[in-house]
A = this chain, B = another copy of it.
Amino acid sequence: MDEVQKMMYQAPDAEGKVNFVNLYDLEDMAKKVIPEGGYGYISSGAGDLWTIEQNIKSFNHKVIVPRVLADIEHPDMSTEIFGDKLSLPVIMAPVASHGLAHVKGEVATAKGIAESDTIFTISSYANKPFKDISSAGKGAPQWFQFYMSKDDGINRDILDEAKANGMKAIVLTADATVGGNREMDKRTGFVFPLGMPIVSAYQSGVGQNMDAVYGSSKQKLSPRDVEFIAEYSGLPVFVKGVQCAEDAHVAMESGAGGVWVTNHGGRQVDGGRPAFDSLSEVAEAVNKQVPVVFDSGVRRGTHVFKAIAQGADLVAIGRPVLYSLALGGSEGVKQVFDFFKEELAKTMQLAGTHNVEEIKKATLSNYPWA
């Protein structure tokens, strides 16, 4: 994007039902309506794109073994976290800058997610004011993903605002203390075209590339930051980016109220382990002391099933929601969760699991040929 394009970034403004069969359809369709730089930023990953591709493929490292004669009809997909009831164990992962996908940005996303009776994790790098997003999501729990400032005074202000807006948990992103090696952004010359009001106190905003944006937030994250946030906010704090047992222990010892297993959608370390392959190790270390959320590469109801069977309590999705947001606004957002409801219900029925707790007890079989 050259300077002129940057100034005149034209995000889609579509509203209404999107016609898709699966989420790969959505990706193809979204590519045609989101401006190149924005689409590249959303869709791509680090380096040779090996890890981002393996994220999806790695779900085949474990295969489902369907069970029969289980006396099931209409399996129960609902679940609960921190006292909030959700219609399905799939929530919205934090994703920066929904304004790249739709002029209504996070406001439309919040609306669609609230209508899906699940959780929206609002990114620090949202393009809409905190209050507008939380208002749009009324009736559904919201969490706040935190990129900390280097200044603790600013951090306190942001946490105050998060609490004022009713956030139920704080998600500390710990796996992005610098931007990953995003070659697509180098090729398109991508810079963020829109402001980020939640962090405007430390983030100057429009026209900066990803390295500059990450550079303005805090790099030297440590267990003390988890303690600080937990203590100051009084809210459960997820450490996001945990990929091994050791870090699960570090997080819990720091007072984390949850552990979020992810490799940031393959956007940070190429040649890093696919997120699904890290899940069981982390879940075993956590040992049900705190909730485990999983994301990275989830595109199917069967992926949700497998992640829960490997130890996740909740599964988060990201890119597909942005694509559907671009194509249909809040209605598109809701359709993505409807898609997961349909696929997960079928999978649960055919796998012989009456509810989410039974998925957790389902056995997956190793698949060394994948």
Contacts and interface: CB of A to CB of B under 8 A. Distances in A.
A1 to B, nearest CB: 16
Contact of A302 (B64, B271, B349, B369): B271
A138 interface: no
A300 to B, nearest CB: 6
Chain A residues touching B, range: 35 or more
B175 A270 contact: no
A72 B177 contact: yes
A60 B300 contact: no
Nearest to A187: B21
Contacts of A239: 68-69
Interface in A21-59: 21-22, 47-48, 50-51, 54, 57-59
A337 to B, nearest CB: 16
A274 B178 CA distance: 32
Given A69-B222, A69-B251, A220-B72, A271 B300 contact: yes
A13 interface: no
B65 A243 contact: yes
Nearest to A278: B65
A177 B61 CA distance: 26
A145 interface: no
A2 interface: no
Contacts of A303: 271
Contact of A246 (B58, B67, B222, B225): B67
Contacts of A269: 64, 66, 302, 347, 350-351
Nearest to A299: B48
Contact of A69 (B57, B226, B277): B226
Interface centre among A54, A65, A175, A223 (most CB of B within 10 A): A65
A143 to B, nearest CB: 18
Interface in A109-135: none
Contact of A346 (B178, B183, B365): B178
Nearest to A363: B244
A174 interface: yes
A67 B302 contact: no
A250 interface: yes
A29 to B, nearest CB: 14
Interface centre among A22, A241, A251, A350 (most CB of B within 10 A): A350
Contact of A64 (B63, B179, B273): B273
A148 to B, nearest CB: 12
A71 B225 CA distance: 10
Interface in A66-87: 66-74
A13 B227 CA distance: 58
A306 interface: yes
A350 B72 contact: no
Interface of A: 21-22, 47-48, 50-51, 54, 57-61, 63-74, 174-181, 183, 186-187, 219-223, 225-226, 239, 241-244, 246-247, 250-251, 254, 263, 268-274, 277-278, 300-303, 306, 343, 345-347, 349-351, 363, 365, 367-370
